[in-house]
Amino acid sequence: MKLDVVFSPLGLLPGQATGRTIFVIDILRASTVICAALHHGARAVLPASTTEEALRLAQTIGAPDVLLCGERGGLPIPGFALGNSPLEMTPAAVRGRTLVMTTTNGTPALLATQGAAAVYLAAAANLSAAVAAARDALDARGEFMILCAGRERSFALDDAYAAGRLLGAVLGGGRKRAGLNDAAVASLDLVRRYGAAWERPLRASRGGSDLVALGFDADVVDAAREDVYPVLPVYHERRITAAPPPASLL
């Protein structure tokens, strides 16, 4: 068994993603937003690393159903149709649309997974679907990795706590720690520290308090709602789509 948590894409060594099953977490807010968009009927989400790349991509696709979304400094990007709030991803706004998205930390984390065998997104919003997929990966391949988007390329409490929740649910109550890297052990310890209520660690994180200061308190509340957007986003060939639910959830 090999279960690794990586606290930021900068912590990924060259080749470390190759052939792995990876769960990317940016609970505040990109992975929550993508779950909301796909759950409410978006056809796909295309991550872009910069605003310029997002504009180019949208222009290349050129279809009338493309929507630009994302944030810089937490705020909507001028000229983009949507920001980076899960509450904006309503069925009326996103059903049947392809979203081209760029965010500060979430989309770079996704783009860092090049060479992985499979890439999924996880958050509180889709915890059960992510846990089922992680259990399947563990049964089939004996491994998975959780890649936290982090904040400004370093550790973020909100993502690390979410990694611990995913890992803890997969491992069950047991104390088996063989095969876990130190970041995985630390993530599990964070869950012991904060307990089962998501909102506490989200609010204690720098990302959470910055969002509250910007007026996005409701987004923190939404990101703390377990299984509210029960989809399994899968990232493949630069597109994120909703994967069929894992067999163990059917």
Where along the sequence are the contacts to ligand MLT (CB under 6 A)? 26, 28-30, 71, 74, 84, 103-106, 149
| Chain-centroid distance, C-alpha 3 | 18
Amino acid, res. 174: G
Q: How far is the CB of 185 from ligand MLT (least distance, A)?
A: 26
Q: Which is nearer to ligand MLT, 21 or 205 (CB)?
A: 205
Q: How far is the CB of 230 from ligand MLT (least distance, A)?
A: 20
Q: Which is nearer to ligand MLT, 106 or 168 (CB)?
A: 106
Q: Which is nearer to ligand MLT, 4 or 71 (CB)?
A: 71
Beta strand ranges found along 62-124 (DSSP E) = 66-72, 75-76, 98-102, 118-122
Q: Which is nearer to ligand MLT, 166 or 171 (CB)?
A: 166
d(CA 55, CA 24): 24
| Burial class of residue 213 (count of CB atoms within 10 Å of its CB; 0-12, 13-18, 19+) | exposed
Q: Which is nearer to ligand MLT, 133 or 149 (CB)?
A: 149
Q: How far is the CB of 54 from ligand MLT (least distance, A)?
A: 13
Q: Which is nearer to ligand MLT, 20 or 29 (CB)?
A: 29
DSSP letter for 180, please.
B
Q: Which is nearer to ligand MLT, 85 or 98 (CB)?
A: 85
Q: How far is the CB of 87 from ligand MLT (least distance, A)?
A: 12
Residue 29: closest CA among 115, 97, 121: 121
Q: How far is the CB of 72 from ligand MLT (least distance, A)?
A: 9
What is the number of other CB atoms lying within 10 angstroms of the CB of residue 177?
Answer: 12
d(CA 177, CA 227): 27
d(CA 165, CA 76): 29
Cis peptide before 29 (omega within 30 of 0): yes
Q: How far is the CB of 211 from ligand MLT (least distance, A)?
A: 6
Distance (Å) of CA 210 to CA 75, 206, 215, 217? 11, 6, 9, 9
Q: How far is the CB of 152 from ligand MLT (least distance, A)?
A: 9
Contact indicator for 122, 130 with CB cutoff of 8 Å: yes
